[in-house]
Amino acid sequence: MQIGPYTLSSKLLLAPMAGITDPPFRHLCKQFGAGLATSEMLTSDISLWDSKKSAQRLPQRDETEPRSVQIAGTDPQMMAEAARLSIDKGAQIIDINMGCPAKKVCSKAAGSALMQDPAAAKAIIKAVTRTAEQAAVPVTLKMRTGWSRKNRNALEIAKIAEDNNISALSIHGRTRQDAYTGYAEYETVRRVKQAVHIPVIVNGDLRHADDLTFALQYTGADALMLGRITHGQPWIFQRYNTLLATGKMPADLAFSEKKQVIIEHINHIHRFFGKTMGVRLARKHIGWYCDRLHIPAEKKRTIFGATAPESQVQLLAEVLDNPPNEAPKQEGINL
């Protein structure tokens, strides 16, 4: 799939997720074959970007290209300035967030709340694309099927986006009202794909092998965006890329290979975020890895008790040296 001047290496993309798609996780998913890994959402208020937290969310110069950063806000000029500064700091693709359903985002009329105001959405899209075009940087848009179940207006927003030089659309198959409940519907995505001439990426409920093939065939989408299914199994990109290429799901990674990946990921988190923050942020990833590998809860709690990077890694390695004798099939994989 093509986004501006960039030809992506895979039809599988990593969804931007707050608190999750940090540089270490983006790096790992790209290693396993993600065609694009977009940063966590950044506020358009650049006065807040001097914080260490914001700096760590920005694209890193050593990241595999293309480097994509997502910005969120409600003021067109602030969004344009955020895009300009992101480009100055190394972003090669700008992604506009019109998909986040979180109350703290929507209460400020940002994220998916913008979908209920097409005029405001258009103003933001125009401001950002005009700024990005000066640097020859493509802009993408992530949205939902609509604001509510009675107002699925993704088609209207998609046409506004195409008319104002958006290079690709990502659509989560739920409305803002749905948040993450119920099931994703792909009919709206299908209608958008039939109506526009820019790449469309489908997102939502892509958990099993059959989900991927069905979503691509039914919607006609150009690519798939994986979100929560990647938690605790970044190697899913490698397996699903093989599935899409051959029609067959390959054998899972050996436990020893997973251990090596997990330990290196946690070490990378420690190096990038530092000792105190690194240990804290690593816990959620450790929790997901343990859940995927069916590690008993009491062993997981032992790892969570570590307060230093060295002890956290040591305890994790000890647990992984003694895996469960018979782990059930991993959730989210249809073998």
pLDDT tens-digit series, residues 217-269 = 999 999 999 999 999 999 999 999 999 999 999 999 999 999 999 999 999 99
Reported as a single tens digit per residue, the pLDDT across 196-222 is 999 999 999 998 889 999 999 999 999
Specify which residues 148 forms β-bridges with. 151
d(CA 220, CA 124): 28
Mean pLDDT across the stretch 328-332?
46
- For the domain 2-246, what is the CATH superfamily, name and number? Aldolase class I (3.20.20.70)
Reported as a single tens digit per residue, the pLDDT across 155-174 is 999 999 999 999 999 999 99
Spatial neighbors of 88 by CB under 8 A, at least 6 apart, are none
Which DSSP string corresponds to 153-213? -HHHHHHHHHHTT--EEEEEEEETTTTT-S----HHHHHHHHH-SS-EEEES---SHHHHH
- Sorted by where each begins, the domain ranges of the chain are 2-246, 255-321
**Is pLDDT larger for residue 334 or for residue 251?**
251
328, pLDDT greater than 70: no
pLDDT of residue 146: 92
d(CA 323, CA 10): 32
Q: Is 111 exposed, middle or buried (0-12, 13-18, 19+ CB in 10 A)?
A: buried
Burial pattern 276-286, b for ≥16 Cβ within 10 A else e, equals eebbebbbebb
pLDDT of residue 182: 87
Reported as a single tens digit per residue, the pLDDT across 79-115 is 999 999 999 999 999 999 998 877 767 656 678 889 9
335, pLDDT greater than 50: no
Reported as a single tens digit per residue, the pLDDT across 28-73 is 999 999 999 999 999 888 887 877 777 777 777 778 899 999 999 9
pLDDT of residue 331: 43
pLDDT of residue 325: 61
Specify which residues 169 forms β-bridges with. 141, 200
Containing 225, the helix (H) or strand (E) segment is strand 223-226
pLDDT of residue 267: 98
Q: What is the CA radius of gyration of the chain?
A: 20
Enzyme catalytic residues: 100
| pLDDT-wise least confident of 25-39, 65-79, 311-325 | 311-325
Q: What token pair was written down for 187?
A: 């009919």
pLDDT of residue 71: 95
Q: Enter the pTM of the model.
A: 0.91
